[in-house]
Amino acid sequence: MKQFDREINHTFKPIRKIQVIATLIFVAEMLIRYVLLMEIQRTVDSLTAGNIGITQSYIRNCLILVFSFFFLNCFFQYWYRKLQYTSHYSLMKRLFGLSMRKDYSFYERFSSSSILTMVKDDSKFISDWQSVGIITVVFNVCCLILAFGVMLYYSVLISIIVFLIVMACFLGTQYISRIISDRTYQLQVSNTEISTDIVECLDGIKDIKQYKKEGFFDKKLSDFIDEYPFRYSRSISRYYSAFTSTYAMLVIAMPILTVIIGVGLVMKGQLSIGQLIAIYGVAGTLQEPIQVIPDYLNKRTQALAMQEKIAPILKKQEREYQTCQLEPLKEFSFSSRSFTFPDGKSILHDVDFTLLRGEAGIVSGPSGRGKTSLLNLISRFYDTEGQPVSMGFNGIRAAGIEPEAYYSHVLQSQQTPYIFRDTILNNITLGEAFSEREIHEAVEAACLEEFVESKGMDYLIEQNGENISGGQKQRLGLARALIRKPELLMLDEPVSALNPELADTVTERVAEYCRRWRMSLLIVSHNDSFEKYYEEKQNGKVKKIFV
């Protein structure tokens, strides 16, 4: 039998205690339910026999059992719902954490919307089974065993007839549930594709509007929905109608059938009226297990299918790194005969350079020749396996260095940095501890001192920096990199969103900051402020790299 991944089982290990508590409460609740039925049987039979004193005692027992059942059910529902809700968030946290630790190539293969669906939506099927699904099946199997045990105690004939009906309904609902499970999985896959298509359309809304193709993409998505989700949902609806009809038969027809058979046995003196009422009550509890057990067993199959869908996140890192610790940078070398993207585009033909500790290099060349890609390659955002590209950190092959160790020495400040909803301070430090002096120096080097003085370090920046300017975003990203003092700092258009005067000031301060801390600097910029600075103030001490 196919099993769940070790990561999944490990995630749900802390909730096993809650499952045990819920199971024990349910067993106690279930026992009270059947004891109550038997007490009702004794109450009715004693009343029929005219034993009023004994009847009053039975009625008192019934009331105590009813209140006990109520309180136990309240506790059970609390633990049951707690399991259902907390387990999904626990799995979401685990999957998000695993996805964050993947190599950059993982994000090249899977879009943001696909990862979001895996973490948030697909995981729900798994958490539902692992949390409440397992105990629900156990509960209902126990219900069936106890119910048939009580029926056998009262009447073998009725038990045999009910057992045959139950088995027929069980097999039918299990078959139907399997089909529903398969269709639901296909529907979920289709919904993932819909999410991806919608995100892609929204990302490309400028071109869609410009070329007046709203109708084209509207029809494209509508046709897909008609072809797949609508078809799967219609199929699910048809099978659910058969599923619920079977359930209705169990709810209505079977208890009535037991009463009809029981009346005949009462007339023959083989059954008392109280026993008939008890059998009727037990028959009324059978419909839920018959519906729930096959449904949840197929939910297990569905959860395993979803596990296959999120397997890229669960899959452990197969790549082994030869180097986990690095000495301070002495030199960084780069050599490329060419680099080819998956779409066949080839860039960086015959590019070779070495950058020594403390040196500055300016990357230049025509648009589209790979200047930004050069920085992304050094940042290891692209996979170089099988490519005629080599990079060396102090002579050590960069691809063989463990990423965490590598990024402790090499950082790139993005042209459009990631700005998240939090304070100015946390957007710079990312939760790390830095001294006030370190923070002040980085803020000053990025020309953010006026912004910080006017707003304060605790000023709340909105998501994507919606309440600050493009230049302020760019300089926040720059400060974020500078404060960590990487031995090799790469800047991609670091002053593109700034006016000429501010661009010159930022250039001078960044260059001085890097010189003070012996940081190597590699710059891609269409603005000539860095080149002018090194020519005028550093006597041209800059390495020019042409691509």
- Per-residue pLDDT of the chain (547 residues), as tens digits, is 678 888 898 888 888 888 888 888 888 888 888 888 888 888 888 888 778 878 888 888 889 988 988 988 888 888 888 888 888 999 999 999 999 888 887 888 888 888 888 999 889 989 999 988 988 888 888 888 888 888 888 888 888 888 888 788 778 877 887 788 788 888 888 887 888 788 778 877 877 776 778 888 888 888 888 888 888 888 888 887 887 777 677 667 777 888 888 888 888 888 888 888 888 888 878 877 877 887 788 888 889 888 988 999 998 766 778 888 899 999 999 999 999 988 889 999 999 999 999 999 999 888 888 999 999 999 998 888 889 999 999 999 999 999 889 999 999 998 888 888 899 999 999 989 999 999 999 999 999 999 999 999 999 999 888 899 988 999 999 999 999 999 999 999 888 878 888 888 999 999 999 999 999 999 998 777 888 888 877 776 788 899 8
Continuous segment of H or E residues that includes residue 340 = strand 339-340
What's the CA gap between 495 and 504, in Å, rounded? 9
**Of the candidates 2, 238, 250, which has an alpha carbon nearest to the alpha carbon of residue 129?**
2
Q: In angstroms, rounded to a whole number, what is the distance separating the alpha carbons of residues 123 and 134?
A: 16
3-state secondary structure 53-114: HHHHHHHHHHHHHHHHHHHHHHHHHHHHHHHHHHHHHHHHHHHHHHHHCCCHHHHHHCCHHH
Number of Cβ within 10 Å of residue 479's Cβ equals 26
Is there a contact between 272 and 48 (Cβ–Cβ < 8 Å)? yes
168-191 in b/e form (b: 16+ CB < 10 A) is ebbebbeebbbbbbbbbbbbbbbb
Cα–Cα–Cα angle for 432, 435, 440, rounded to 5 degrees: 105
Whole-number Å distance between alpha carbons of 441 and 365:
33
Question: Left if phi > 0, otherwise alpha if psi is -120 to 50, otherwise beta: which for 303?
Answer: alpha
Q: Is the dihedral of CA 484, 490, 496, 502 positive or negative?
A: positive
Decide the pairing of beta strands 331-336 and 389-393.
antiparallel
Closest CA to 170 of 318, 178, 231: 178
Joined together, the tokens standing for residue 108 give 């090249």
Domains and CATH numbers, the chain: 6-187+242-314 (1.20.1560.10), 331-546 (3.40.50.300)
**Nearest Cα to 122, choosing from 316, 299, 300, 310?**
310
For 478, how many CA atoms within 13 A lie in the half-sphere containing its CB?
A: 33
Q: Whats the size of the chain, residue-wise?
A: 547
Instruction: For residues 88 and 8, give the distance between their C-alpha atoms in angstroms, rounded to a whole number.
Output: 11
If you write DSSP's letter for every residue of 199-227 in order, what string do you get?
HHHHHTHHHHHHTT-HHHHHHHHHHHHHH
Residue 64 identity (one-letter amino acid): I
Nearest to 378 by CA among 346, 350, 358, 348: 348
